[in-house]
Chain A
């Protein structure tokens, strides 16, 4: 019996590991590893290993559905498309195209995201965004401003050549496990590993120096390090003079950030701040790896800029073993952003309020005009839905009812819409609120390109057909466009990629023919260009070629512990689950290993509350309450508690405060209280 091995890109995280789906008689019967993959070298984490479990889960959506009362009835594609066309048409007639908002999917392909933002903008609405808003929006905004490009500056294998790896606000051992092999390799080659996190995690196990800071104090820590580096003359004066602008302002702004003062704010001993600063600055090649612990704050953009500052004043950019590395969560959040499924950017990061960008795309898409941005962001769309400014939403592969903060408000807002269309693979909490549900395809059921956190574009091939009447998301978007009188071209991934080659400069040379094993790393400006693994080796793509050093001031998080809510809640992930859990909670191997929502409490906090390990407790914040099982552990310091957000409930609690620029919610810091439930 001939088994065909189809190369695919893992649908889970931004590491973008490859593996083969084994197909026999049209069915996915197994998986094989891909030893030649540049990042994973054949490895695959527990989520990837369980990927086939959700592929044919009985909950898969297989037909279009229409709401009837509290439930749904099956309808034909024709009827579904008709309902959508009529519904959107009504809203546009009454409220103008600005009454419609689109949420693109960081799990769908580049081609699908490109086509969705094109559909939105051709329809006349500027409101298109994706869940990057909830995770790396500060990186997109901050790094574009400071370095001129938003993405990991060096590829993952390059971490293996680093001599000092500073991991802050990232639990990569659980969330990007294959990166651990490169950290280990570097460590064994003599690298120093520094990890800053409020919580002890398998990532901190890798550390030579563990800085257990209080949640929300990252700018203070980074300013303290900058202070030491400047005071001890560890800056790279040459590099600063040639490549940057703004150093003096930074020097001034960190003048008072002495280790002693910073220690008071962060809870990190002054000696460790000094040690970390010295190690980072004086190693021949240092890299900074960061993720949600940096971005999911009301000061997220500042946090990112502070990181960028450290790299710029020490010259740790543009060379092997250096870099600023935002570790992006979703398999294609980088791609969704590159494809302009963002409120403030068109594909390729031309600003959506820039007349030249608008002119260029109007010309490319053959229309006289396009809406001027910035549109509403993902979080603002929800508020606008609640206030009535947005009357219809089209949501592709996203679950804001679970992923956004303050879940009750999100539910209410989505329910209040005149029309909610959700295109997804499962009946998520968001889909449950929809008027029309469209069944999409998972990674193995379609082909297209995905861009991982390294800016590496890889082609994933189709292994099996989607179940029932489900279609590839590309086909669905094209069909929706047709029913609205908008011609999006042929729903063939290779053709859409060809258009992307023409309209997105960074992807110009990333053609279908060239996307073999290993992929290509953008910018890739022409078909003979080998791609650009390391950014910024020859200056920065900003005015006069210089990076911007942007001084930032420490501001405390929006919410702090008080009398009524005396504990600090921070959220995060665990190794066997992924984000809102729609895929992993339907994978028995994974769910069995982490079946319930839990809250980590330090024993010193638990004892006075008479809480023992395993007790059901109620966690409450000013937003509401959620039930969880108590886990007593020293991983969190006194005063801090931790909950994973893979289960509904955690985001009922989280704060609505957002970063003023990037508009990312402050998931990482909420004030809470805990009581036993019995």
Chain B
């Protein structure tokens, strides 16, 4: 059955997604993600293989061991406040970025990232259009 090192789990749900027997359950609200690893008799090790944090291992079945549970508070986007990711996942992404990247944007949700990019890309052009407000003639 599954053993998990909860200190390493990042809450990504890979294990739950790949388990062919639906032994790893999850629930999610707007604010929280909960994962429950049920006792299983399978020895397929798909979850072990696909865990990005290498937090899972297989141990002999033991009725006495409680089924591990984890719960993650979802982190709020620093721009819109919508909760969009677990903290360990965000940390892992920050650590994986090429060194040249400024990781501030990681703490914004994907939608806000798009909006930020849209504003950045059009900033100069918009300034030109606003200056060329009703009546002001000017090529850009």
Which residue numbers of A lie inside 8 Å of B, CB to CB? 200, 205, 207-212, 268-269, 271-272, 275, 637
For the complex with contacts A212-B135, A275-B137, 16 further pairs of A-B residues with Cβ separation under 8 Å are: A208-B132, A208-B137, A209-B135, A210-B132, A210-B134, A210-B135, A210-B136, A211-B134, A211-B135, A212-B134, A268-B135, A269-B135, A271-B135, A272-B135, A272-B137, A637-B134
Docked Cα-Cα span, A665 to B17, in Å, equals 60
Closest 8 pairs (CB-CB, A-B): A212-B134, A269-B135, A209-B137, A272-B135, A208-B139, A275-B137, A210-B134, A208-B137
Q: What's the least CB distance linking B119 to chain A, in Å?
A: 16
Which single residue of chain B is at the shortest CB-CB distance from A275? B137
Chain B residues with a Cβ closer than 8 Å to the other chain, count: 9
Docked Cα-Cα span, A391 to B9, in Å, equals 77
Return the contact of B129 from the options A205, A268, A269, A272 (Cβ within 8 A). A205
Docked Cα-Cα span, A301 to B132, in Å, equals 32
Residues of chain B lying within 8 A (CB to CB) of residue A207: 132
Residues of chain B lying within 8 A (CB to CB) of residue A637: 134
Docked Cα-Cα span, A207 to B134, in Å, equals 10
Residues of chain B lying within 8 A (CB to CB) of residue A268: 134-135
Q: Tell me, yes or no, whether B66 is within 8 Å of chain A by CB.
A: no
Q: What's the least CB distance linking A46 to chain B, in Å?
A: 18
Q: Tell me, yes or no, whether B60 is within 8 Å of chain A by CB.
A: no
Residues of chain B lying within 8 A (CB to CB) of residue A272: 135, 137
Docked Cα-Cα span, A207 to B135, in Å, equals 10
Residues of chain A lying within 8 A (CB to CB) of residue B135: 209-212, 268-269, 271-272
Residues of chain A lying within 8 A (CB to CB) of residue B137: 208-209, 272, 275
Q: Tell me, yes or no, whether B138 is within 8 Å of chain A by CB.
A: yes
Residues of chain A lying within 8 A (CB to CB) of residue B139: 208
Once the chains bind, are B138 and A208 in contact (CB under 8 Å)? yes
Docked Cα-Cα span, A207 to B132, in Å, equals 9
Which single residue of chain B is at the shortest CB-CB distance from A187? B139
Which single residue of chain B is at the shortest CB-CB distance from A212? B134
- The proximity string for B residues 108-140 relative to A, scoring 1 for CB distances below 8 Å and 0 otherwise, is 000000000000000000000100111111110
- The proximity string for B residues 38-54 relative to A, scoring 1 for CB distances below 8 Å and 0 otherwise, is 00000000000000000
Residues of chain B lying within 8 A (CB to CB) of residue A269: 135
Q: Which of B4-50 contact A (CB under 8 A)?
A: none
Which single residue of chain A is at the shortest CB-CB distance from B129? A205
Docked Cα-Cα span, A275 to B136, in Å, equals 10
Residues of chain A lying within 8 A (CB to CB) of residue B132: 207-208, 210
Which single residue of chain B is at the shortest CB-CB distance from A210? B134
Residues of chain B lying within 8 A (CB to CB) of residue A211: 134-135
Docked Cα-Cα span, A271 to B135, in Å, equals 8
> Would you mind naming 5 contact pairs between A and B with Cβ atoms under 8 Å apart?
A208-B132, A208-B137, A210-B134, A210-B135, A275-B137
Q: What's the least CB distance linking A73 to chain B, in Å?
A: 49
Docked Cα-Cα span, A200 to B136, in Å, equals 14
Q: What's the least CB distance linking A636 to chain B, in Å?
A: 11
Residues of chain B lying within 8 A (CB to CB) of residue A209: 135, 137
Residues of chain B lying within 8 A (CB to CB) of residue A208: 132, 137-139
Docked Cα-Cα span, A268 to B136, in Å, equals 10
Which single residue of chain B is at the shortest CB-CB distance from A193? B139
Q: What's the least CB distance linking B10 to chain A, in Å?
A: 34
Q: What's the least CB distance linking A270 to chain B, in Å?
A: 10
Which single residue of chain A is at the shortest CB-CB distance from B138? A208
Q: What's the least CB distance linking B24 to chain A, in Å?
A: 34
Q: What's the least CB distance linking A592 to chain B, in Å?
A: 16
Q: What's the least CB distance linking B79 to chain A, in Å?
A: 18
Residues of chain A lying within 8 A (CB to CB) of residue B134: 200, 210-212, 268, 637
Which single residue of chain B is at the shortest CB-CB distance from A208? B139
Docked Cα-Cα span, A205 to B139, in Å, equals 11
Residues of chain B lying within 8 A (CB to CB) of residue A200: 134
Docked Cα-Cα span, A615 to B12, in Å, equals 39
Q: What's the least CB distance linking A124 to chain B, in Å?
A: 54
Docked Cα-Cα span, A211 to B132, in Å, equals 11
Q: What's the least CB distance linking B127 to chain A, in Å?
A: 13
Q: What's the least CB distance linking A93 to chain B, in Å?
A: 61
- The proximity string for B residues 57-99 relative to A, scoring 1 for CB distances below 8 Å and 0 otherwise, is 0000000000000000000000000000000000000000000
Residues of chain B lying within 8 A (CB to CB) of residue A205: 129
Docked Cα-Cα span, A211 to B135, in Å, equals 6
Docked Cα-Cα span, A269 to B135, in Å, equals 6
Which single residue of chain B is at the shortest CB-CB distance from A279? B137
Docked Cα-Cα span, A269 to B137, in Å, equals 11
Docked Cα-Cα span, A209 to B133, in Å, equals 9
Residues of chain A lying within 8 A (CB to CB) of residue B129: 205
Q: What's the least CB distance linking A108 to chain B, in Å?
A: 41
Docked Cα-Cα span, A637 to B135, in Å, equals 13
Q: What's the least CB distance linking A311 to chain B, in Å?
A: 22
Residues of chain A lying within 8 A (CB to CB) of residue B138: 208
Docked Cα-Cα span, A641 to B132, in Å, equals 22
Docked Cα-Cα span, A210 to B129, in Å, equals 10
Which single residue of chain A is at the shortest CB-CB distance from B130? A634
Q: What's the least CB distance linking B121 to chain A, in Å?
A: 15
Which single residue of chain A is at the shortest CB-CB distance from B134? A212
Which single residue of chain B is at the shortest CB-CB distance from A205? B129
Q: What's the least CB distance linking B42 to chain A, in Å?
A: 40
Residues of chain B lying within 8 A (CB to CB) of residue A271: 135
Q: What's the least CB distance linking A639 to chain B, in Å?
A: 14
Q: What's the least CB distance linking A83 to chain B, in Å?
A: 55
Which single residue of chain A is at the shortest CB-CB distance from B137? A209
Docked Cα-Cα span, A212 to B129, in Å, equals 14
Q: What's the least CB distance linking A197 to chain B, in Å?
A: 10
Docked Cα-Cα span, A269 to B132, in Å, equals 13
Docked Cα-Cα span, A200 to B129, in Å, equals 11
